[in-house]
Amino acid sequence: MVHAAPRNRGMIEQGRTTDVFDARTHRVARIVLPVLAALVYGFWAAANRRYGGPVTGWNLLFGFLTALVFAVVLITLLTVAPKLHRGLHAAVWAAFAGCAVGFLFSQSNGSIYRSVALGVGVMAGTFAIMFYRYYTREDAEGHRLE
């Protein structure tokens, strides 16, 4: 039988949830999760680039360099983006998502026009979703409610 996590009266009235992990776990996850995502992204880009052929040293180097750049940009965005205004915050994440998807598609030997079109499409969708998310979590003066 499943039960809800216990919360005291103050948490219920303020609408807060129970935080299962401590601050140290959150700090470690802030670095580990982007690095894991970067390794998956680098592997994916390297696999797209070799077109099903054998894995070479240059292919491994390309994958690790792609993962390094992805990790640095993602960690920078996670640090800097929350300090931005909601429109710029959404635009930064949309540009990141669009560039990441467009780059992955370009490595699979597709047309540059299709790569750009796919990147712009992902960018537009991401911007709409992120702007809505940030817009609905701010008050009239632009202060975050979270």
Domain boundaries, the chain: 1-83, 85-146
- Tell me, rounded to whole angstroms, the distance of Cα 25 from its chain centroid: 19
SS3 of the chain: helix, strand, coil, percent, to 5: 75, 0, 25
Q: What is the pLDDT of residue 54?
A: 85
User: Vertex 138, ends 136 and 143: CA angle to 5°?
Assistant: 170
Q: What is the pLDDT of residue 86?
A: 84
Residue 71 above 70 pLDDT?
A: yes
Q: Which position has the token pair 């780059």?
A: 103
Q: What is the pLDDT of residues 28-63, one digit of tens each?
A: 888 899 999 999 999 999 998 888 788 888 999 999
- Name the more confident of 72 and 15: 72
Residue 12 above 70 pLDDT?
A: no
| Residues in the chain, overall count | 146
